[in-house]
Amino acid sequence: MSRNTPWIILLCKFSDDPGMSTLRSIADYAAFFAGDDPDSIPSYWRDISNGELDLVTGTEISPWLQLKQKRSDHKGLDTRKDLFQWAKAAGRDAGIDFGRFFGVTVFFSVATDLFGTSDSPHVVCDLLSSPAQIQQEYGHAYGLKHSRSVVNPIDYRNPFCTMSSMIFGTDDVVFRRVDPTFPGRWGASGPGLCSPYVLASGWLPEPRSVKVASNGRYPSSTLLDLSPLGDMNPTHPQVAVVDFDTPQSVRYCIEYRRGGWDRGIFYDPIVLHQVRADGLSYYAGLIRPFKAGSGGDATHPLPAVSAGKWYVDQQYDLSVEFIAMSPDRGMVTLRIAPAAGARTLSVRGIAASKLQLTGSFSIGNQVLTRKEEPLRGRLIDLLGR
């Protein structure tokens, strides 16, 4: 059963607002903030939460409310909290009972501010705010923090998470101008939410994630199929999880991003995130599968790190290998293994050095401990020891 979280949407204008000719109709704002329009805010969070959040039932939108304050009364961060209180005061004057709602959205008719908080859940935005930015602020209202990257561990550095919406369309230390949004009915929208936050929020049913066996230092060699993270009816798990305790505690989450709210990501990557002790999600890297017609151009240049089919983290002794893509079946096949899995493997050399064998020997008898275990996987496990 979905969790009903009704919102009240306050359409606000300052007392000195010169006009409203650039604004949409109230019906349009109702469709965007309160309806089940395919590109609406409620549709986004319904899909991102796999149906766990209902933002439609009980949500209402006000008529235009005129504040007693002028636009000049807003002094930036010094009066940010006041904006919310000014809007609520106007709402109370109009007879709105705020006790009936989970949260409050304040929409201003002129450029004003953009923020959200889970403290008395509310979102403040304005006519210049894009859907992608507003989606992030709703994320804050539901308790989500900003996401980061391993390379640059500060807020707004994860191009594949709606909780970093300020990075979209900008240059990054890893990417060459990546913009994972798409032009929806209301403006730039998407992408989806990174898997660590989906998991932490309890929005991914248990069968849709798979935990890869690990001894804390390296994972066991594991071959698996992943459906896209945003798939509402997946045929395979959507997130692979690997836990490490050396050199420090870190959880790796591995996901496949394709279609839906991720349709702005044109090269369908396998994306990796770290979850650290602070509970935040850190973008760690990607694999861009090879696809026909995905060579990149001036409009869509490929990421600088996309040339190979591997992701390797020597620090945490992890390798992820892209094996195959089946777009018609909506899945990718990966091998998760110790970092040694990315090496060129010499069967006889590894057997001799790791098993300390000399003279003539049978590789089949000495290396394979179980007939059903793939030879390569056995070698990778040996290299990790």
Strand blocks (E) in the chain? 3-4, 7-13, 53-54, 60-66, 103-108, 115-117, 122-126, 148-149, 182-184, 187-189, 209-211, 222-226, 239-244, 250-256, 270-275, 281-287, 310-313, 318-326, 331-337
pLDDT 10s per residue in the chain (385 long)? 689 999 999 999 999 987 666 789 999 999 999 999 999 999 999 999 999 999 999 999 999 999 999 999 999 888 899 999 999 999 999 999 999 999 999 999 999 999 999 999 999 999 999 999 999 999 999 999 999 999 889 999 998 999 998 877 665 544 445 678 999 999 999 999 999 999 999 999 989 999 999 999 999 999 999 999 999 999 999 999 999 999 999 999 999 999 999 999 878 899 999 999 999 999 999 998 754 444 444 444 444 333 348 899 999 999 999 998 887 778 999 999 999 876 654 455 545 555 555 555 555 554 444 444 555 566 666 555 5
Q: How far apart are CA 379 and CA 278, in angstroms?
A: 35
pLDDT of 178: 65
Q: What is the pTM of this model?
A: 0.85
Structure tokens at 343: 């090496």
Token pair of 313 as six digits: 């983290």
What b/e sequence results for 45-81 when a residue is b if at least 16 CB atoms lie within 10 Å of its CB, and e otherwise? Answer: bbbbbbebbbbbeebebbebbebebebeebeeeeebe
Residues 238 and 209 sit within 8 Å (Cβ to Cβ): yes
- For residue 119 the two structure tokens come to 């403290």
CA distances from 30 to 9, 59, 242 (A): 8, 9, 42
Please name the CATH architecture into which domain 3-144 falls: 3-Layer(aba) Sandwich (3.40)
Q: What values do phi and psi take at 188, rounded to 5? A: -60, 125
Coil, strand or helix: which one is 34? helix
User: Distance from first CA to last CA of the chain, Å, rounded?
Assistant: 46
Query: Residue 50: what pLDDT?
Result: 97
Average pLDDT, the chain: 86
Q: List the chain domain ranges.
A: 3-144, 208-342, 347-384
Please tell me the predicted confidence (pLDDT) of residue 329. 75
